[in-house]
Amino acid sequence: MSNSNDEILVELRRIEKLLVLIATKDQKQKEQVRMLDSMGFQPKEIGELLGITANAARVALHSVRKQKEPKNKRT
């Protein structure tokens, strides 16, 4: 029975990846990472889904977050 559960999990993971690819297909990598982060995926999972390393996902996420920060203007 464990083997059957493992097969189900593998298939669910494939479906998940296909849905992510469909949802983010016309987006740049940074935007894909941002979207997946907002869906609750961790950098390791994002990397696996997009075919990049977890570190590359973290770097892209940091870049996206940094762009959204308001810039402090000196007066």
pLDDT band at 73 (very low <50, low <70, confident <90, very high): low
- Model-wide pTM > 0.75: no
* 58 found inside a domain: yes
Residue 54 has pLDDT above 90, yes or no: yes
Residue 75 has pLDDT above 70, yes or no: no
* 24 found inside a domain: yes
The DSSP result for 38-50, as a single string, is HTT--HHHHHHHH
* 46 found inside a domain: yes
Contacts 24+ apart (CB under 8 A), 25-33: 29/60, 30/60, 30/63, 30/64, 31/64, 33/57, 33/60, 33/61, 33/64
Contacts of residue 43, defined as CB under 8 A and 6 or more positions apart, other chains included, come to: 54, 55, 57, 58, 61
Tell me the average pLDDT of the chain. 86
* 75 found inside a domain: no
* 18 found inside a domain: yes
| Domain ranges, residue 62 | 2-68
Number of domains, the chain: 1
Q: What is the pLDDT of residue 61?
A: 93
pLDDT one-digit tens code per residue, 6-33:
999 989 988 988 888 888 888 888 889 9
* 73 found inside a domain: no
